[in-house]
Amino acid sequence: MYDWANSAFATTMMAAVLPIFYSEVAASTLADAQQATSYWGITQSIAMLLVAVLTPILGAVADYSGRKTIFLRLFAYIGVAASIGFVFVGNGDYVLASLLFIAGTIGYSGGNAFYDAMLNDVAPPGERDYVSSRGYAYGYIGGGLLLVVNLLMIQKPAWFGLPEGLAGTYISFASVAVWWFVFSLPLFRAMKDKAIARGHTAWQYIWIGFSRLAATFRRIRNYPELLKYLLAYWCFNDGINTIITMATIYGKEIGLGTTHLIAALVITQFIGIPFTLLFGKIAVRLGSKPSLYISLGIYVLVVLFGYFMTETWQFYALAVVVGMVQGGSQAIARSIYSRLVPTDRTSEFYGFLSVSSKFSAIAGPFVFSVVGALTGSSRLGILALLVFFVAGIALLVKVNLAKGAAEAAAAGS
């Protein structure tokens, strides 16, 4: 249900409504659409940098104190508050919009570091591929349902008794906050932390967090397969996240209509539901790595097609294809990582994954934005994402999952 809850932010804020609002309203006073696209990409990079600095420290503290749920709740509330804040953003308020999005991303991504670490607590190793896939599938349903309602409020405000203009958009932002909060409650009520009585002050916990983070950086070389997997993950995950966050504003820049852009993303959501579950089954039948190879290979084709895209129907076609692989690739990637980390340090290592992937995630939007700014068009920025997928696949080939699982089990025994 937490996937269901926070996916509202991923769909409405990160992927669909907010990028268009940022381009047309918040950044309306900028020189042109390409500049708005570049500013949006830079905002993404700053958000990832701040998440990268914060979450691994808190992850180490959560492991040491046994308080994963408390930290997840804290970050979720930050995201909820930031989503509400967008109702105060008007024409030309791109700085405020960027600051709120940075705060929301910290809430969303920071919370996921603790949420993902709970996978080891709720599912045995043999079931994690499918349980992880089910989580993503619920996220597609929840995020998709709210996005449909928000799309109708924006495009057909009279159906809801709303005036023409931005009322539907502002209510959409508020709905994300309500949705995220309400559907997080089942997890907050059901998952109970097993607090460890250490007798330390808050500052001592912070010092412990920094110390354990430093130890994690030193310890990671003791898990060579995990390290190789991290290198691969940094690359392909950066490519995936850049497509998610930049697709809509890129489509807006090349002249695609708002209604078509959002409708295509709704299609992505609902296509993702059965295919995410399907990839969980494929992983059980063929293995985790082959299923991940399939999805990443399709992403390479998506990038190539996106470079040449000019027509609305092409964006719809890409939306269908991305929906087929997006959730499955992320779910399988999360499940693989869960098998490679020592079982007694899950939050710490998921925090490390968060810091490392967020530092690497700075690169995708930054490259996209810089290439677009230098060339005056974002098409070459899209093409540059090929590097992330090709490098990720090449590095993934080198990973021995069985050996990595044995290394993790030996450390946790």
pLDDT tens profile 307-358:
888 888 888 888 888 888 887 888 888 788 888 888 777 767 876 776 677 6
CA dist 331 → 54, 195, 225, 227 (Å): 24, 28, 19, 19
Rounded Cα distance between 111 and 285, Å, is 31
pLDDT value at position 362?
74
Q: 86: which DSSP letter?
A: G
Q: Is the pLDDT of residue 194 over 60?
A: yes
List the structure tokens of 155.
Answer: 């495009």
Do residues 127 and 120 touch, judged by C-beta distance below 8 A? no
Q: What is the dihedral of CA 13, 14, 19, 22, to 10 degrees?
A: 60
What is residue 341's three-state secondary structure?
Answer: coil
- Do 88 and 21 contact (CB within 8 A), yes or no? no
CB 271 within 8 A of CB 263: no
CA separation for the pair 142, 130 (Å, rounded): 18
pLDDT at 5: 96
pLDDT surpassing 70 at residue 56: no
Mean pLDDT of 272-299: 86
Q: Give 112-140 as a 3 state SS string.
A: HHHHHHCHHHHCCHHHHHHHHHHHHHHHH
Cα–Cα dist 119/195, whole Å: 18
C-beta separation of 392 from 296 below 8 A:
yes
User: What token pair was written down for 44?
Assistant: 């993404």
Of 169, 192, 236, 231, give the one whose Cα is nearest residue 13: 169
Rg (CA), the chain: 20
Q: What pLDDT does 354 receive?
A: 67
Choose among 85, 78, 108: nearest CA to 8: 108
Domains of the chain: 2-189+205-412 (1.20.1250.20)
Q: Which residue has the tokens 């490679």?
A: 340
Least confident span in 141-155, 221-235, 254-268, 343-357: 343-357
Per the listing, tokens 């989580």 go with: 135
Residue 197 has pLDDT above 60, yes or no: no
Q: What is the per-residue burial (b if ≥16 Cβ within 10 Å, else e) of 56-66?
A: bbbbbbbbbbe
375 against 311, higher pLDDT: 311
Express as a percent the part of the chain with pLDDT over 70. 90
65-118 tens-digit pLDDT = 677 888 899 999 999 999 999 999 999 999 999 999 999 999 998 888 788 878
Q: Which two tokens stand for residue 72?
A: 């997840």
Q: Which residues lie below 8 Å from residue 131, measured CB to CB, with a gap of 6+?
A: 119, 122, 123, 335
| Plot region of 150 (φ>0 → left; ψ -120 to 50 → alpha; else → beta) | alpha
